[in-house]
Amino acid sequence: MSVPPRTFRVGPVTLDLMHRDARVGETWLRLRPREFAVLWRLAESAGQRVSRCALISDVWRLRHIPETNSLEVHVARLRAKLDRFGLRGLVETDPAGGYRLGH
């Protein structure tokens, strides 16, 4: 079994597994746990679409799709925090459904 890396770099963003947060330079984004988990999951598949179903399964650990917009709310909060650093397009909505990390 492989050990996940402690950090991921996504453009100017460094995700830190030990802190469960991300930073741009020396400034922490102060992500909530699920915001961090969504960003980490997308970073694991950088550039590839991650379906809504996969995100709910991997981040929320649910095997069914609940009738809630919790994922969308967390993605909106994550985007707002990234936007403060000029990273508006980092988390993209994929036309086929789901999300992916952009440029």
Domains and CATH numbers, the chain: 7-101 (1.10.10.10)
By the 8 A CB rule, do 65 and 53 touch?
yes
Model pTM? 0.91
4: left (phi over 0), alpha (psi -120 to 50) or beta: beta
- The answer on pLDDT for 98 being more than 70 is yes
42-78 pLDDT, tens digit each? 999 988 999 999 999 999 987 777 678 999 999 999 9
Name the band, by pLDDT with cuts 50, 70 and 90, for residue 103: low
Strand stretches in the chain, DSSP E: 7-10, 13-16, 21-24, 27-28, 91-93, 99-101
Closest among 43, 37, 75 to 57, alpha carbons compared: 37
